[in-house]
């Protein structure tokens, strides 16, 4: 099993119990845990901080079967016996990451690929709103645009829900959910009357919301890296 370097720090705090969702593990208990997976450490005065010790061990066992073993032990029912914490609450700690990944993969597929397809297959001359004897290019263009307009707003909202559970990204979460709702509103207006004179305006608004959201994410990530 392989995890990214950025995942090691939050996972270490999950293991040590420095978050509310998992039981607190003392230094000796952490040593016992990792000694079960190939280490031979002893607890003493030179023992580093608990989270630093766990981060180092996670780096050592990353991309090995031992990492999976440690995680399986931590989400086993016996680990939570006689503890105030419970397994269901602990597992929910990982859900924001799953939701955020799902959302961004969805945007990559339905925005990235759809944009590519609509560029390759242009509309018929005059746009052909009434779809009178449409060409294959027109039908392909419309289908790709349909997928993009339907699924990108949903994926933006999914990201917003995932971010809502991360206290540092509450503002970005609100922007995501709001952007998703606004784009859904204009998607509804767009498809409720495909012969409307405002069709082009609705499309530009929807696509502008998508671009603003993507740029907001990019600037947020850039600022995080600088900090």
Rounded CA-CA distance 113/90 in Å is 36
Q: Are 33 and 73 in contact (CB under 8 A)?
A: yes
Rounded CA-CA distance 183/189 in Å is 10
**pTM of the predicted model as reported, rounded to 2 decimal places:** 0.60
Of all residues in the chain, what percent are helix, strand and coil, respectively (each to 5)? 70, 0, 30
Write down the domain spans for the chain: 5-90, 95-226
Per residue in 161-218, pLDDT (tens digit) is: 888 877 677 888 899 999 999 999 999 998 888 778 888 899 899 989 998 988 888 7
Q: Would you give per-residue pLDDT tens digits along the chain (227 residues)?
A: 677 777 788 888 888 888 777 788 889 989 998 998 888 899 888 888 898 999 999 999 888 888 888 877 776 666 666 666 555 666 666 566 788 888 888 888 888 888 888 889 888 776 666 667 788 888 898 899 889 999 999 999 999 988 887 767 788 889 999 999 999 999 999 888 877 888 889 989 998 999 898 888 877 766 654 33
The set of residues, in sequence order, having a beta carbon less than 8 Å from that of 210 and lying 6+ positions away, is 111, 152, 156, 179, 183
């Amino acid at each position: 099993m392989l995890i990214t370097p950025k995942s090691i720090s939050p996972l270490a705090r999950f293991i040590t119990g420095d978050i509310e969702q998992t039981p607190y593990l003392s230094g000796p208990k952490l040593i016992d845990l990792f000694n079960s997976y190939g280490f031979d450490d002893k607890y003493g005065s030179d023992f580093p901080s608990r989270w630093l010790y766990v981060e180092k061990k996670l780096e050592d066992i990353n991309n090995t079967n031992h990492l999976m073993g440690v995680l399986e032990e931590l989400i086993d029912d016996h680990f939570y016996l006689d503890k105030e914490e419970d397994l269901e609450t602990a597992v929910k700690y990982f859900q924001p990451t799953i939701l955020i990944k799902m959302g961004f993969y969805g945007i990559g597929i339905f925005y990235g690929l759809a944009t590519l397809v609509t560029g390759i297959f242009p509309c018929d001359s005059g746009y052909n709103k009434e779809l009178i004897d449409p060409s294959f290019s027109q039908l392909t263009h419309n289908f790709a645009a349909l997928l993009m307009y339907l699924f990108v707003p949903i994926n933006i909202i999914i990201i917003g829900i995932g971010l809502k559970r991360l206290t540092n990204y509450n503002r970005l979460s609100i922007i995501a959910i709001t952007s998703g709702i606004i784009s859904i509103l204009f998607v509804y207006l767009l498809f409720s009357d495909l012969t409307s004179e405002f069709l082009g305006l609705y499309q530009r608004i929807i696509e502008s919301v998508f671009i603003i959201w993507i740029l907001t994410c990019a600037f947020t990530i850039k600022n995080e890296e600088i900090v």
